[in-house]
Amino acid sequence: MYRFILLFLLSFFIISVNAQEIAVLQYGGGGDWYSNPTALTNLIKFCNEQINTTINEKPETVTPNNVDLFNYPFIHMTGHGNVFFTNEEAQNLRDYLISGGFIHIDDNYGMDIYLRKELVKIFPSKELKELAGNHPIFNYHFKFPQGLPKIHEHDNARPQAFGITYEGRLVLLYTYESDLGDGWENPEIHNDPAEVRLKALRMGANIVKYAFEN
């Protein structure tokens, strides 16, 4: 009973106290969780200008086992390498997600094989499922009728968006072979054409708006 009361209170806390805030997940395992340092700031600025959000342009950092996780309705995770969650961290992440939180995981190239086994700790009975091109997240504000856009080429593979849904709500989005975060970075870092960066920012804005409103 205590656990259910706690989840209810944390869910209320997420919705009412920090309705529009984003944090970066600092996970264990040695992967570079801190990669793409300018990405979120640029995405947040774009969202504040284009979809009328009021997000702090300096995102905070939070760890998976910290109660502060529940302060943020949107958590972003990225990197290239190893990912590891302790059982305590996995449980805290699960509690966060089922009580109203949302996590976007963007593979910056190389984290896929590590990430998938760790997600099983969070949702042992659920599998990542690819989102179809007609999923609302691709049309929530900006239109992407073909689904997730390709931003950076790595293995000549198509971009894919995977999700985990809990009680009808998408709680976890995993973007693979797209590298949205690179497209959000300052233009001089990757020298992406303006139209490619715009696609990345628009898709990011769709994700943010969808997460805040669902």
**Which residues of the chain carry a pLDDT beneath 50?**
1-2, 4-9, 12-18
Task: Determine how many CB atoms are found less than 10 A away from the CB of residue 102.
Answer: 24
Q: E strand or H helix at 160, and its extent?
A: strand 160-166
Domains and CATH numbers, the chain: 2-213 (3.40.50.12140)
Residue 95 has a pLDDT of 96
Residue 186 has a pLDDT of 96
Residue 108 has a pLDDT of 93
Residue 16 has a pLDDT of 43
Question: What is the SS3 assignment for 146?
Answer: coil
Residue 154 has a pLDDT of 77
